[in-house]
Structure 1
Amino acid sequence: MSTFPDRRPPGRPRDHFTPRRGWLNDPNGLVHHEGEYHLFFQHSPDTIVWGPMSWGHAVSTDLVEWSELPVALPSTEAEHMWSGSVVHDVANSSGLGTGGTGPLVALFTSRDTTTGRQSQHLAHSVDDGRTWEPHASNPVLDIGSTAFRDPKVIRQDDRWLMVLVLADERTVETYRSSDLLHWEHAASFGPEGSADGVWECPDLVRVPVEGTDAYAHVLLVSVLAGAPAGGCGTQYFVGTLEGDRFRSTQRAMWMDHGADFYAAVSYSGSPGVMPVVQAWMSNWLYADRVPATDFRGSMTVARRLTLRRRGDTLTLVQHPVVRQGLLVHEVTDTELAGVVRLPVEATACRLVAEVEPGTSGRFELHVRVGPGERTVVWVDWTAGLVGIDRTTAGATAFHPQFAAVHTAPAPPTDGPLRLEVVVDLSSVEAFIGDGERVLTDQVFPGGSSTGLAVAAHEGAATLHRLAVYV
């Protein structure tokens, strides 16, 4: 049995960003600039429950290893800094740059602590996001609403577009600008898809269609209730951008069928043709109750997006951005029946399996296995479902809905089904069907629960490959 020690500070995940201290929720202002990925985030540094929101800040060159920087936009007694976005104003259309260099520009929701009014404010940076100067004429957009928030700005041809929500009305509003300072209304979208909860954190991304030169526009919208696993989640609409107006061309679908994937937004300016998104890994049902000491909240791994055609439908596919890791165990071309314990123990690892049902009815990967504890990622060939079972994943009593089995329709396949499972101290992210179905769940097992196992039930499965990386 090989045991691989943690390469992380005690009590922290290895491969997921967490703040040094305090509370973290939605990712904000994701941008790639001068070789750095900037992750801003909703942050309350002095408490581990949601409170007066500031913008925390971290940077990375590879989306895996992160360095936390000082708070970028601190809250005040009069103003809380809610979600928003950052763009590089390359051509200095705002006039806020110096020396011919375009600034980084943040557009974010400012919440007035006296009135609850939500308006859109601007700040800019000329030192690679290290310090920020609020605009003297803030707000740059104000309609007098208490539920008007989460601006995401994109560059479209010769103009800027901003998408943000009228949360209670379940609509995404589009505004346009030539200079980031003056905005006019262009279009509305919704309600469509899931409208059980208020809408938040929209994003509009251009996503390539696999195997073609085509693209489609995808609108991401987070909803506060009604997601497949209960509570909040992120839905998406595939469609077209006609001028400044987004139109959906197929029904809404869910990005993630687990319980802990919310407020997903993309990195502005990321290199390559595939957009890169990241989300908050929690759920408002129990976010303030999960086990914690000096910090609470983490991000998912970053994910690159493509679209895969299935008949008349385009499905969003997510490709995790992961560390290469060390291959410590591999099995190829074997028949699997029953439960087989693997000769590896690890708190953080990545498993890749390619499997066909053979005569079996069910295939399983068991992670974080210990006395009375395990989390199970499974494929039920008979029922046509995939899922995660966290009913015995350790601490669950802090909320009645935490111990649960989360499911999704199995993706179609003409051959072996590929599963990639990213395991960390307190999370499991399962990318099934080469990322066509994704489930993200937090788990809180004991420190001794480091075992791994693989299983086939009701017959024998054909395991073409199983690889474990640490």
Structure 2
Amino acid sequence: MFKCSTLKLFPCIALAFLLAVFSVRGNVLAYESFNLNSNQDILIEDFESEDYGEWQVEGEAFGSGPAQGALPGQMEVGGFRGDRLANSYHGGDDSKGTLTSAKFEVKRPYISFLIGGGGYEGETCINLLSGGEVVRTAEGTNTQSGGSEQLMWDSWNVKKLHGKMVQIQIVDSRTGGWGHINIDHIIQSTKARRVVHDKQREFEFSSKYLNFPVKNGAAKRWISLFIDGEKVREFDIEIAPEDPDFWVYLDVSEFAGKTGSLQIDRCSTEWEMGFDAVYQADSFPGQDNLYQEKRRPQFHFTSRRGWMNDTNGMVYHDGKYHLFYQHNPYGWKWGNMTWGHAVSTDLLHWDEWGDAIHPDQMGTIFSGSAVVDHNNTSGFQTGSGEPLVAFYTSAGNNGQWSRGEPFTQSAAYSYDGGRSFTKYEGNPIIGEIAGGTRDPKVFWHDPTNKWVMVLWIKEDIFSLFTSDDLKNWQRRSDIPGFFECPEMFELPVDGDPARSKWVVYGASGDYKLGDFNGTEFAAETEKIKYEYGNCFYASQTFNNVPKSDGRRIQMGWGRGIKMTDMPFNQMILFPVRLTLHSTDDGVRMFANPVREIANLHNQHWRSSEKLVRPGENPLSDISGELFHIKAVIEPRGADKIEFIIRDTAVSYDSSAQQLSCNGKSAPADLENGKLTLELLVDRMSIEIFAQNGRIYMPMGVDLTGGPKSLGFSSEGGNAFIESLDVYSLNSIWLSE
């Protein structure tokens, strides 16, 4: 019992409170009350040095120092802080080792750390040692194939160890799959930093979109959407803990008026944004700047948001060209394969309708094709409209719902011109054949009155199947020599239908010519090189183009054209018309930009019958971003002629008769002493066509940082311009 005067009342009250804290809460929490810096974390180790310093290293698994992300043979590692982390994948999953820290005093109620890798208790783990004994432990999250090399927060409650001297031990004593551990940013903290599993949020859907913040390189998380207890969407996403690089959206308009439950598999308690920042609205962040972004191609199709690759399901129907494509709606990188969808009436201006076919229990949605079933052979038609029928690969082991399931072939149909699709209840229409069998291309064969499917089976084998009803398929024969993304069609030679040849090609575009009787393809040539650029892959041609048009129109993926710092990635190459022509080397397939390009022409500069001497530039007065250039040139005495497109050279070596650009080259023999060139110049590409389409060289190149000038030069002698037409082009997205 003690006494206080009135003047000393406040200090006495404070002292009484502190005594109560000691008696009720114990020494650990009382210590926190006295520690003026108790809200500050204490760093134990961030692994940012080139070596492990005072840490004791045993075995080979951790190497001689921290890793800078993923090690050779390892999947991408994310979620760590800074540039380095402790990673026991040195030498792969079969190496073993430990890291043991120096002793330190416990001064905070929690020890927190970022952890990933194998989830094997006691074998791929981090331990807290006190007196040489394990008093706390945690392991990674992965034990099955697949998984993610993303680090997430975890914490130990160490209040009872306050004031004791302890050590951290990181252990890898396991071999085989996920036989490694990843650790970073070990701290003493005043609050726990943990992973919350299967957190849910409820939404009453009254708007068009759910908007998600994305940070490239953040930990990938699995998001699921449930409607009336049924899972209707699932995808992974690099959800931003803070400062998103961009926002993506999930279109929920089909669920209007319903209540949905959005679930994330794991999230950190320390995130400021992430899952809690998801919101619904009738617009998405960045929509006001849509198609005006710095690296947005202006006459090549790109998706509003996310990654895109292979063209799929290309078909003409009811006045519209339908372009489907492999799409990750939720990230800048490949993943979550879904069929995106855009339509055009002129092959130039594209209206993105949104995602058409979504992943399901059978897997993600890989590449395929689409047809119009004019005669309702499938029986899918119930009204007056002809059904659109899409064929795709259900990639079973690429989706969270069905890991380990096989690759099979499936169908979906649309009654409303492609606005919505219903998956065939009898899927799969073709079961598992080999591990990765995929990419069904389907077309109608008039002479046999049957549907034909070309399917990549494995290695270098395509197989031909036939069907009467688009549901039941019989395997007929094989075509060797091609890898994935099959295409097959008939073309007249030199415009003469009586001399037609069948063309077969795979993802690279290199093709064979031959004859097809409805069940077997008889090749008449070896594989012939199609294109010479740096970005062409996985193209497809439109089915059902009207006979009155008669064109075979191809569009391919502009592979590797990275849209750095953009909310979208990759693009589709400009549509080309394919034709067969007789040459000195035999029949060859030519590619030329479709004639509709002329509808984008704006300003026009023309030069003809002009001699160009070394040092002269007849294009010096022209500048801009988007161009269509057509030229017929005689090199004459010039050793080299060259177009300079915003600092990027398109060159022709007269003696070698070789065309080149950015390290790629193609043989281009002069015809009657002349070189014919056609160039399509966009912000992220230059597509080169030479000798009237005999040479096709699509080049991905970022032109956004260079000058807007054009140049033409002659070296070593004079060149003669027979004709040179330069057209500036209007954007397909923005009105002038």
Q: Which TM-score applies when normalising by structure 2? A: 0.56
**Rounded Cα–Cα distance in structure 1 between residues aligned with 2:723 and 2:333:** 43
Alignment of 1:330 onto 2:615 = no
Who is 1:196 aligned against?
Answer: none
What is the aligned counterpart of 2:308 among 14, 21, 24?
24
**Rounded Cα–Cα distance in structure 2 between residues aligned with 1:442 and 1:188:** 34
CA offset digits 1:5-45 (Å, max 9, x no partner)? xx962321111000000000000000000010000000001
Who is 1:42 aligned against?
Answer: 326
**Rounded Cα–Cα distance in structure 2 between residues aligned with 1:69 and 1:117:** 30
Q: How does 1:7-406 map to 2 (within 5 A)?
A: 9-11=292-294, 12-76=296-360, 79-113=363-397, 114-115=403-404, 117-157=406-446, 158-167=449-458, 169-191=459-481, 199-213=483-497, 214-222=499-507, 233-271=508-546, 272-283=549-560, 291-311=564-584, 313-321=586-594, 322-324=597-599, 325-339=601-615, 340=617, 341-368=619-646, 374-389=647-662, 405-406=663-664
CA contact (8 A) 2:657 2:670 kept: no
Cα distance change on mapping 1:60 and 1:290 into 2, 3 Å: closer
Cα distance change on mapping 1:102 and 1:69 into 2, 3 Å: same
SS at match of 2:506: strand
**Rounded Cα–Cα distance in structure 2 between residues aligned with 1:326 and 1:375:** 23
**Rounded Cα–Cα distance in structure 1 between residues aligned with 2:385 and 2:566:** 43
How many percent identity over aligned positions?
31
Structure number having the greater helix percentage: 2
Amino acid at match of 2:674: P
Who is 1:467 aligned against?
Answer: 725
Amino acid at match of 2:545: S
**Rounded Cα–Cα distance in structure 2 between residues aligned with 1:344 and 1:9:** 23
**Rounded Cα–Cα distance in structure 2 between residues aligned with 1:435 and 1:139:** 41
**Rounded Cα–Cα distance in structure 1 between residues aligned with 2:513 and 2:620:** 41
Shift of 1:143: 3.0
Amino acid at match of 2:609: D
**Rounded Cα–Cα distance in structure 2 between residues aligned with 1:259 and 1:33:** 32
The two structures, once aligned, show a CA RMSD in angstroms of 1.7
**Which 4+ residue blocks in structure 1 deviate beyond 6 angstroms?**
none
Cα distance change on mapping 1:323 and 1:75 into 2, 3 Å: farther
**Rounded Cα–Cα distance in structure 2 between residues aligned with 1:206 and 1:353:** 31
CA contact (8 A) 1:364 1:379 kept: yes
Shift of 1:444: 1.2
CA contact (8 A) 2:640 2:654 kept: yes
**Rounded Cα–Cα distance in structure 1 between residues aligned with 2:361 and 2:430:** 21
Structure number having the greater strand percentage: 1
Give the count of matched residue pairs: 423
Amino acid at match of 1:413: E
Alignment of 1:428 onto 2:686 = yes
SS at match of 1:92: coil
CA offset digits 1:136-184 (Å, max 9, x no partner)? 01000013422110000010020000001013x2111100000100000
Shift of 1:328: 2.4
**Rounded Cα–Cα distance in structure 2 between residues aligned with 1:235 and 1:65:** 29
Amino acid at match of 1:171: I
Higher relative contact order (CA 8 A, sep 6+): 1
Q: Which TM-score applies when normalising by structure 1? A: 0.87
Cα distance change on mapping 1:50 and 1:367 into 2, 3 Å: same
CA offset digits 1:385-416 (Å, max 9, x no partner)? 11212xxxxxxxxxxxxxxx101111451253
SS at match of 2:485: strand
Shift of 1:64: 0.7
More displaced 10-residue stretch of structure 1: 53-62 or 78-87: 78-87
Cα distance change on mapping 1:298 and 1:10 into 2, 3 Å: same
